[in-house]
Amino acid sequence: MKVQQMLVLSKVRSWTKQTGLHVLREYGIFVIFIALCLAIGLMRPVFFSLTNIFNVIRQVSMIGIIGAGMTFVILAADIDLSVGSVAAFCGALCAGLMVWNHFPVLVAILIALLVAGFMGWVIGIITTKANVHSFVVTLGMMSVARGATLVYTRGLPISGTPRAFAILGEGMVGPVPVPVILFICGILIGHFVLTRTVFGRAVYAVGGNREAARLSGIKVDRIRITNFVICSTLAGLAGIILTSRVRSAVPLAAQGWELDVIASVIIGGTSLFGGRGGVIGTLIGALFLGVLRNGADLLGVSPYYQQVLMGAVVIGAVVLDRVRHRAVSTSSR
């Protein structure tokens, strides 16, 4: 298996070098990302100011944190559509525990994270044990969690969170915002787990070929459930950060996040069919979307066009991914 993979890789490398496309092919999205940054920076030099750079990273940090978890789920050929709703619910729960029940900040955060993890566990159990596709299960959970948020908040914002809670969303360590640190930590830990641990290898194996993974003794169900728990917990964390940032929990918060998160993962080169990709790609994917949106804001692009732009970029990234994928499969024949 390994020898074969190496053979394929070397063949692809030589083919792309011959065609001179190898830079774009190997590091496609990264090259486009740098070009995008340069283009925006040329038109609006303020783009490269330290404030703006940290603004962008802070703006994408919540999507990026969930993206790290979503990468695990997608690598194992599953999907999680419930992350936005789970984020909203956990943000609201955390705020409610602090404002209504006067729980200490850390206890409230911990409970909210545990509930998030539990929601992921429920998704995992139903997906694996009842053998229902995760698309359906998480679509349901998306609705359940959003409805639960409405019930819990009674449809109104929860405001008046304690001052200490603001550190999570607005605090700084030196010049670096706290959400950015959490985001980078999430990516680094995710990268370490995926590349250096037995669990990480198993995630790739499950996504590559579920049956083969099962036959080689990998506990497929356990891996998939763990992925959902990781993803939901990180979604909960992102929801708590959002609540801290806007100093209140809003029932409509984090709506549509699932699409931004999945787009980041896909733009980052992780295959929707599982088995290929990684969290470093997701980091680039999330930054890419953030820079695109920030650039559009700085250039004063109308919100109508912004949506068109976003959609076009996601399609473009998937097409690029397909071209790369095809290059691998044709040269292996």
3-state SS class at 177: strand
Q: How far is CA 111 from CA 51, 69, 81, 145, 236, in A?
A: 34, 19, 22, 16, 10
Q: Is 242 in the site for another protein (CB under 8 A)?
A: yes
In the structure encoding, which two tokens stand for residue 211, read together?
């049956």
Given the complex with another protein, which of 16 and 232 has the nearer CB atom? 232
What mask of x and - would describe binding to another protein in positions 125 to 144, judged by CB under 8 A?
--------------xx-xxx
CB-based contact 168:244 (threshold 8 Å): yes
CB of 149 to another protein, least distance (A): 9
3-state SS class at 59: helix
- Chain-centroid distance, C-alpha 211: 26
CB of 298 to another protein, least distance (A): 5
Q: Is 246 in the site for another protein (CB under 8 A)?
A: yes
Binds another protein (CB under 8 A): choice among 11, 22, 44, 325:
44
Q: Is 303 in the site for another protein (CB under 8 A)?
A: yes
CB of 139 to another protein, least distance (A): 5
What mask of x and - would describe binding to another protein in positions 45 to 74, judged by CB under 8 A?
-x--x-xx--x--xx---------------
CB of 156 to another protein, least distance (A): 6
Q: Is 151 in the site for another protein (CB under 8 A)?
A: yes
Q: Is 32 in the site for another protein (CB under 8 A)?
A: no
Tell me the residue length of the chain: 333
Nearest Cα neighbor of 116 from 225, 230, 247 is 230
